[in-house]
């Protein structure tokens, strides 16, 4: 058996570990060696495109699940008629009932009433950037 140089051995071990830790199955585009040698960059690009196309639906699904998870975990909860953020800090009572998690790219952090990183000058109360109310106004 030919002796492997240390770099090749390291790379082989690394790839084997990656395979064990992930269920990655990289599909190689059909091509012959002489075509690859003529234009290796194109071959690498084809692999990336193929993998990206194959995995795009999973990435979109993961993004949607992440958004849903965030929405559920940023929801304001009521306790004894008072509103609380998920970390148990009370929501200032001055804020309107509609104050909730931001949506459709509208949130306090891109509202004209939001100043100083945590204050709403419309309601004169501290707010959080990812939340929103019906008075939201963009620039």
Residues 127/119, Cβ–Cβ less than 8 Å: yes
Q: Give 83's contacts (C-beta < 8 A, 6+ positions apart).
A: 76, 77, 90, 91, 95, 99
Closer Cβ to ligand SF4, 43 or 113, answer by number: 113
Q: Does 108 bind ligand SF4 (CB under 6 A)?
A: yes
In Å, the largest CA–CA distance within the chain is 77
Q: How far apart are CA 131 and CA 105, in angstroms?
A: 11
- The residue count for binding ligand SF4 (CB under 6 A) is 13
Q: Minimum CB separation from ligand SF4 for residue 78, in Å?
A: 18
Residues 76/99, Cβ–Cβ less than 8 Å: yes
Closer Cβ to ligand SF4, 5 or 104, answer by number: 104
Q: How far apart are CA 135 and CA 123, in angstroms?
A: 9
Q: Minimum CB separation from ligand SF4 for residue 83, in Å?
A: 13
Candidate residues 57, 60, 133, 138; the one interacting with ligand SF4 per rule CB under 6 A: 133
Kindly state the helix (H) or strand (E) to which residue 26 belongs, with its residue range: none
Closer Cβ to ligand SF4, 117 or 120, answer by number: 120
Stretch that binds ligand SF4, among 5-13, 18-26, 68-76, 121-129 (CB under 6 A): 121-129
Candidate residues 39, 84, 135, 138; the one interacting with ligand SF4 per rule CB under 6 A: 135
Q: Minimum CB separation from ligand SF4 for residue 109, in Å?
A: 8
Give the angle 115-84-64 at the CA atoms, nearest 5°: 80
């Amino acid at each position: 058996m030919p002796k492997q140089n240390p770099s090749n051995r390291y790379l082989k071990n690394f790839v084997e570990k990656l395979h064990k830790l992930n269920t990655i199955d990289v599909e190689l585009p059909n091509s012959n060696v002489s075509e690859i040698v003529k234009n290796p960059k194109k071959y690498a690009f084809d692999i990336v495109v193929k993998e990206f196309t194959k995995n795009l639906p999973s990435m979109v699904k993961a993004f949607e699940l992440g958004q849903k998870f965030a929405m559920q975990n940023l929801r304001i909860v009521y306790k004894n008629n008072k509103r609380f953020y998920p970390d148990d800090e009370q929501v200032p009572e001055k804020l309107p009932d509609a104050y909730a998690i931001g949506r459709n790219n509208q949130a306090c952090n891109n509202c004209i009433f939001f100043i100083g990183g945590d204050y709403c000058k419309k309601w004169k109360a501290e707010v959080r950037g990812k939340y929103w109310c019906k008075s939201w106004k963009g620039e």
